[in-house]
Homo-oligomer: A and B are copies of this chain.
């Protein structure tokens, strides 16, 4: 008998009112739960528009403590639908100490743990280093009721090391809550390659590790400080254990993206493509160097 697992990715459009965004995402999570999804994941920092387009101290007020009101709300949904919930939140850990954090809530509503984004970008309109202290809990995998999962966040997706270190802990699915889009002025010239690179490297994490990958992005043009803003490119997707695209959301519409995963495929793929067997761990030491010069 196949060990099938239904997962749901919440691809939303984020408005100006954080309370409304939370309410809306909770409603979609309820919808996903009622449709039988067993693991539900939000996009990155879904509670607000992507405020990192500028460096402004006022945005620190958006952060919340963990556990806190958001985790409580998601716990109730997890319990009601017996579904694991992964939620991406702006964490206030202490005064002057904030993280870009994902929480994992098990299917009984209990708080399993959190992951703090390890790789923090700082690029035009993505000024995250101003807001988020780099994670200090390392790469993590959790045994949930429905399988072992790992969570990484957005910029982490460009690092094969992050996927590997999570998979080496036994993760069968890697979730990547994400907020990424085009600079509208660059889209025509670079947009296709930018999106292609994003999709390709995450599909490759599935290949390298023989696991599933789920990337959850938002949609919509956001201009919190005016200007051209960022056009989030949606296209949330689920990749199978050979990196093949199983399900893919639209570029500009809100939607719950569902996928049915045959969890036996993880073992089958890893046996038939035994990459883990042949890793040259005796020769990888220099991975911890900044550059080999």
Q: A-side interface residues toward B, CB under 8 Å?
A: 118-121, 123, 134, 138-139, 155, 158-165, 168-170, 192-194, 196-197, 200-201, 203-205, 207-208, 240, 242-244, 273-276, 278-293
Asked if B165 and A287 sit within 8 Å, CB to CB, the answer is yes
Which of B208, B273, B280, B290 meets A118, CB within 8 Å?
B280
Report the Cα distance A286→B274, complex, angstroms.
Answer: 19
CB of A230 to closest CB in B, whole Å: 16
Q: Is the CB of A207 within 8 A of B158?
A: yes
Q: Which residue of B lies closest to A278 (CB)?
A: B119
Interchain CB contact under 8 A, B160 and A289: no
User: Nearest Cβ in chain B — how far from A31, in angstroms?
Assistant: 31
Q: Which single residue of chain B is at the shortest CB-CB distance from A121?
A: B278
**Cα–Cα, bound, A169→B290 (Å):** 10
Given the complex, which residues of B lie within 8 Å of A281, measured CB to CB? 287-290
Are A208 and B160 touching (Cβ within 8 A)? Answer: yes
Name the residue among A192, A280, A291 with the largest chain B CB count within 10 angstroms. Answer: A280
Taking a contact as CB atoms under 8 Å apart, the answer to whether B278 and A244 are in contact is no
Q: Is the CB of A286 within 8 A of B165?
A: yes
Best-surrounded residue of A160, A276, A291 (most CB of chain B within 10 A): A160
Contact A193 B138 (CB under 8 A): no
Q: Which of B123, B193, B200, B286 contacts A168 (CB 8 A)?
A: B286
Give A120 to B279 CA distance when docked, in angstroms.
9
- Minimum distance in angstroms from A158 CB to a CB of chain B: 5
- Cα A196 to Cα B240 in complex, Å, equals 11
Chain B residues near A194 (CB, 8 Å)? 242
Question: When the two chains form the complex, which single residue of B163, B193, B280 contacts A242, counting CB atoms closer than 8 Å?
Answer: B193
Question: A244 to B199, alpha carbons, bound, how many Å?
Answer: 11
A-B contact pairs, 23 of them (CB 8 A): A118-B280, A119-B278, A139-B283, A158-B208, A158-B273, A159-B279, A159-B280, A161-B279, A161-B280, A162-B280, A165-B286, A168-B289, A170-B292, A194-B242, A197-B207, A197-B273, A204-B207, A276-B290, A281-B288, A284-B287, A284-B288, A285-B288, A287-B287
By a CB distance below 8 angstroms, the chain B residues around A207 are 158, 197, 200-201, 204
* Minimum CB–CB distance for A152 against chain B, Å: 11
Bound Cα distance from A283 to B121, whole angstroms: 17
Task: Give Cα A170–Cα B291 distance, bound, in whole angstroms.
Answer: 8
Complex Cα distance A121/B138, Å? 31
A285 to B120, CA, bound (A): 19
Residues of B within 8 A of A168 (CB): 286, 289, 291-292
Give the residues in chain B near A158, CB-CB below 8 Å: 207-208, 273, 275
A159 to B167, CA, bound (A): 14
